[in-house]
Structure 1
């Protein structure tokens, strides 16, 4: 559990947050000054007015009580936009100054930390969303991630890091949380131990993580987190924010020295610290009842859990954006269902877990407005015009592509899940996708126009790990037609993108170049 001392320390900092929000509203400080202060509280001013607040939800878990808290606050503050993030959190958008000040206090009173949601702090610790219920997992990694998250919150008041720190735990090689290229990542192994990676990251100068060790005892996860903090604060770049992420340590130290320093700091941590306690793995005691109809058994949104007779329903709102009404609809559907909770995925999917066969149809019905196929589960960041740094509107591009491609009625899988970032920072994880786009510009007839840089062949699966490579720069208005042409080409071969691309990369590049030359 998060100790009371950490809660009290954060509460004492809140007047600083309010004072600076009020100063910004009065025009006494500028946006950049405000960002340097309020980011550490999990809040930023939006580019075109209003504020956002990022709720820290360890491992992306949302209990019924937490969902009800969110529903109540949406109503109280008339919140009209919620964004599911690639760090398994929920962002509340378009808030007034009064609302963001009240919400940050109310969240803390409820038990939700926003501290560290931004700024030079440890972010929300990420966990494979179906940890504990996934049939193919090696083991449930959530208790260890929870311990790491609590340890980081406990350490946060005394930390002064060069930049943010992202930690992830994967329960299998599927690696949905990108643990192998986070600042620090733990990947479960069949023998009940972890492999550990560090100093990876997406964005400018992307890097896969450095493999530190195998056979890591899960009870020592906090000591490995401590070693990473020691490494980062000792060798991280405090002079240049552009080079202050852990992945730049691979350039300055080299892989071998980085690994050596990490292990030396680990030994220091073992001598000086007691491992953070690990809570026992919770047992799901709910029993299944009923059986799925043939149609439901074949439904792509219904997954069988490793618990006999229990199921998960997936719901992916396009672009990971929730309407103001949807949380209330979800709560209404699950409030009286035993042991049911929500899990947030880094790609913007919500999983509703621990359902019996008899409970599945109603949940499917309330979530029927989401993505209809793999392509429509594509990922995007909040982007311009909300994000201060957003260059392009990634959500606008995604919705334009979805609208265009629904007309083609391609078979599921013909086009893959895309990852779209509004700028090179990769908040939409564009370098991790089979197809990715990053906000860019392109000169046409002497004028700079809205465009995106195309990336291809990224893969997060630990067994095929690779970063996508840039292939072309295409005008935003042309991209939907490029994807339609790509889909037609793959459909003509009776294939899917996953099967087609490995044997036709030259055809993909030729098509990309063809559309890169189009002006509209």
Structure 2
């Protein structure tokens, strides 16, 4: 049912609520009507976010930053991948006390949307050149398979879009209350182990629905993940909707459907609907789930507007019933749960492709790269006969189509670029968000802090390897862009008091989290120890201490997550 056709029923529902003295409305369009209940909903109703591109190109790019309408600047620009970045020099303690306009600089973060993480070397080179020409050489791999650039001026956007779109890239709905990038298995179509190549499903969703005005005003962001690989390599438990390949005993290869996962300050893992979707049904199911979110999602309060809150109230049984009866018009087949993942989902190292060639997963330190590196990587890959690569949900890169006899030469060249195919366990398992360097929400610095911790820990563990892989996720604020609740050691940025009574950058510690694609038996959130905090310069000391305790107290082949949830708090301090 379209928004327009449901409007009358929605308004009837609103009148019924009012007549019986119902609670304050949640802003659910199908129940409460579409009257906006906050400023965000007002600006979206007044003018859709997709419409701002014309003004960026024809007005703001010519008039400069000062010409930008404030509502466009702080709202609709996001629909095209643009956020103002943090003004340099503002202390993290002021993040919560200053207004957005006081925190922001006259430059933008630009998010390049890369659905499924699929790139050609030509596209990679264009991103690298844009970084060099317009972004002061900056570039970061995100854990959403995108690439982010910084120091972008609004005057540059028409040329940036021209270059991106000339090679099939873009920034449409890279941010905003819209369907964000579709995470896809980084080894889609190439791995000898995959059950199914999800690329056709990813392409159908993005071709049909991204940029569709009917889906461009959601209550909040909407995240999607699809994988056909048995490592379950797309962090499916923390997306709004996910499709995980399974072999159904009656229907064959298809997808198990999950909904309602997200982290941030109120983390909640997604739940199975118990439904099996055939490859041909995936886009219809996706479309149904996103419309449920549009029509029934909570819009009154921004901090309650994610799909996870609706699922928490409805439960998976009602969600599936509404999906099938109101949006699909048919019942989905029941299906079994996915089996336990077969191995790590980051694909680091050298692996065989279906065609006998190799793919190589490489690790930059915490996703920090540069425009120069991207152009050099494109050259290096082409020199070794490859023209394809993938980004991953783990801030890594997977390089495709490498002949066996060229593999070691390529690995040597990658090492010179700072991209390791054989990284230490601590480098491999560390990710970090953007942090205070550019983000207006951040309280502490993350990228350099994480890099320093990795390099320090590599020296400390030089003689004795870690007893098992260890994931270290570092986030600059409580919003968990770096997935702190699902790491072995997750660090949430905040100002803390040091031993001398001074307020300094530091982190609250989360321990023993993990997703199914890690080495846990099942996904789970980390535990916190009351009062356990570390300073920014004390991360290496803490990780070394807790890793040694794990090694000493480990029971057999127990994972860090199992150990961290088993032991007394004293062992974790």
TM-score, normalised via structure 1 length: 0.83
Q: 2:540, 2:220 → 1: CA distance?
A: 36
Q: CA deviation at 1:74?
A: 3.3
Q: 2:383, 2:438 → 1: CA distance?
A: 36
**2:292 aligned with 1:231, yes or no?**
yes
Q: 1:225 to 1:45 in 2, by over 3 A?
A: same
Q: CA deviation at 1:96?
A: 2.8
Task: Decide which of 396, 417, 426 is 2:471's aligned counterpart.
Answer: 417
**2:125 aligned with 1:68, yes or no?**
yes
Bigger Cα displacement from structure 2, 71-80 vs 383-392: 71-80
Q: 2:62, 2:541 → 1: CA distance?
A: 47
Which 5+ residue runs of structure 2 have no aligned equivalent? 1-47, 88-104, 332-346
- Pairwise mapping of residues 359-508 of structure 1 onto structure 2 (< 5 A)? 359-368=406-415, 369-371=418-420, 372-377=423-428, 378-408=430-460, 409=462, 410-412=464-466, 414=468, 416-444=470-498, 447-461=502-516, 464-471=522-529, 472-491=532-551, 499=559, 502-503=562-563, 505=565, 507=567
**2:61 aligned with 1:43, yes or no?**
no
Q: CA deviation at 1:321?
A: 0.9
Q: 2:350, 2:556 → 1: CA distance?
A: 22
Q: What's the counterpart of residue 164 of structure 2?
A: 107
Q: 1:107, 1:502 → 2: CA distance?
A: 45
Task: Decide which of 386, 390, 396 is 1:343's aligned counterpart.
Answer: 390
Q: 1:305 to 1:162 in 2, by over 3 A?
A: same
User: What is the root-mean-square deviation in Å for CA atoms of aligned residues?
Assistant: 2.9
Q: CA deviation at 1:216?
A: 1.1
1:367-424 deviation line (CA, Å, top 9, x unaligned): 2123531211211111112012112222132112112212211415545121222112
Q: 1:439, 1:333 → 2: CA distance?
A: 37
SS at match of 2:319: helix
Q: 2:564, 2:270 → 1: CA distance?
A: 29
1:450-506 deviation line (CA, Å, top 9, x unaligned): 221211222221661222233333332322211121233345579999645524645
Q: 1:135 to 1:496 in 2, by over 3 A?
A: farther
Q: Is the 8 A contact 1:183 1:198 kept in 2?
A: yes
SS at match of 1:125: strand
SS at match of 2:523: coil
Q: 2:128, 2:448 → 1: CA distance?
A: 26
Q: What's the counterpart of residue 329 of structure 1?
A: 376
Q: Is the 8 A contact 2:493 2:507 kept in 1?
A: yes
1:236-282 deviation line (CA, Å, top 9, x unaligned): 11111111111111233334322322222342499xxxxxxxxxxxx
**2:352 aligned with 1:305, yes or no?**
yes
Task: Decide which of 247, 261, 271 is 2:308's aligned counterpart.
Answer: 247
Q: 1:17 to 1:196 in 2, by over 3 A?
A: same
Q: 2:445, 2:388 → 1: CA distance?
A: 32
Task: Decide which of 253, 256, 262 is 2:317's aligned counterpart.
Answer: 256
Q: CA deviation at 1:158?
A: 5.1
Q: Is the 8 A contact 1:129 1:343 kept in 2?
A: yes
Q: What's the counterpart of residue 134 of structure 1?
A: 191
Q: 1:239 to 1:505 in 2, by over 3 A?
A: closer
Q: What's the counterpart of residue 93 of structure 1?
A: 150
Q: What's the counterpart of residue 295 of structure 1?
A: none
Q: Is the 8 A contact 1:333 1:362 kept in 2?
A: no
SS at match of 1:193: strand
SS at match of 1:160: coil
Q: 1:158 to 1:140 in 2, by over 3 A?
A: closer
- Pairwise mapping of residues 120-199 of structure 1 onto structure 2 (< 5 A)? 120-156=177-213, 159-190=216-247, 191-199=252-260
Q: 1:478, 1:421 → 2: CA distance?
A: 15
Bigger Cα displacement from structure 2, 326-335 vs 303-312: 303-312
Q: What's the counterpart of residue 3 of structure 1?
A: none
SS at match of 1:252: helix
Q: 1:263 to 1:467 in 2, by over 3 A?
A: farther
Task: Decide which of 356, 359, 369 is 2:403's aligned counterpart.
Answer: 356
For this pair of structures, how many residues does the alignment match? 475
Q: 2:60, 2:330 → 1: CA distance?
A: 37
Q: CA deviation at 1:176?
A: 2.2
Q: 2:474, 2:395 → 1: CA distance?
A: 12
- Pairwise mapping of residues 10-49 of structure 1 onto structure 2 (< 5 A)? 13-18=52-57, 19-20=59-60, 25-26=65-66, 34-48=73-87, 49=105
1:197-249 deviation line (CA, Å, top 9, x unaligned): 11111112211112123331111111111111221112111111111111111
Q: What's the counterpart of residue 212 of structure 1?
A: 273
Q: Is the 8 A contact 1:319 1:395 kept in 2?
A: yes
Q: CA deviation at 1:433?
A: 1.7
Q: 1:496 to 1:174 in 2, by over 3 A?
A: farther
Bigger Cα displacement from structure 2, 227-236 vs 437-446: 437-446
Which 5+ residue runs of structure 1 have no aligned equivalent? 1-8, 271-299, 514-520
Q: Is the 8 A contact 1:397 1:476 kept in 2?
A: yes
Q: 1:508, 1:310 → 2: CA distance?
A: 48
Bigger Cα displacement from structure 2, 444-453 vs 353-362: 444-453
Q: 1:333 to 1:442 in 2, by over 3 A?
A: same
Q: 1:11 to 1:490 in 2, by over 3 A?
A: closer
1:279-332 deviation line (CA, Å, top 9, x unaligned): xxxxxxxxxxxxxxxxxxxxx954222425311122211010112321121111
Bigger Cα displacement from structure 2, 365-374 vs 236-245: 365-374
Q: Is the 8 A contact 2:52 2:77 kept in 1?
A: no
Q: What's the counterpart of residue 516 of structure 1?
A: none
Q: Is the 8 A contact 2:241 2:261 kept in 1?
A: yes
Q: 1:496, 1:403 → 2: CA distance?
A: 29
TM-score, normalised via structure 2 length: 0.76
Q: What's the counterpart of residue 4 of structure 1?
A: none
Q: 1:509 to 1:101 in 2, by over 3 A?
A: farther
